[in-house]
Amino acid sequence: MPRMKTTLGHVLLHIYDFPFEGAVCLPCVNRYEADTPCVVAWGSDVDEVALHQLCLIEGFKNWLNVAVISDTCDDAPGPGEEDLITAFNEDCREGNWLWKMMNYRA
């Protein structure tokens, strides 16, 4: 299972480089910034329960699917990091798209 620790800004700028079934694990914060650390993991052999436990141990309580985040990036006013972070934070507000999808399991 490929897994990398990076920043949210990097993930948003390169969202289409990650497989859509991948997961982005994030810390629980009031506002996400470009330098917010995160973990991206993907692959058909991903053990979601084990990944979730590992991320919790490392302080990454929240997670979103790459495909869900890409929808937010598509709707951002521009392709720059600042616009992407602003759109991400807006969609993470209570009641909005990413807030509803955060930690969602089918």
User: How is the chain split into domains, by residue range?
Assistant: 3-101
State the pTM of this model: 0.91
Q: Which helix (H) or strand (E) holds 48?
A: helix 48-57
Q: Which residue pairs, CB below 8 angstroms and at least 24 apart, start in 41-50?
A: 41/1, 41/2, 41/3, 41/4, 42/1, 42/2, 42/18, 42/66, 43/1, 43/2, 43/19, 45/1, 46/1, 47/1, 48/23, 48/105
pLDDT in tens, 39-97: 999 876 667 778 788 888 999 999 999 999 999 999 999 999 999 999 999 999 999 99
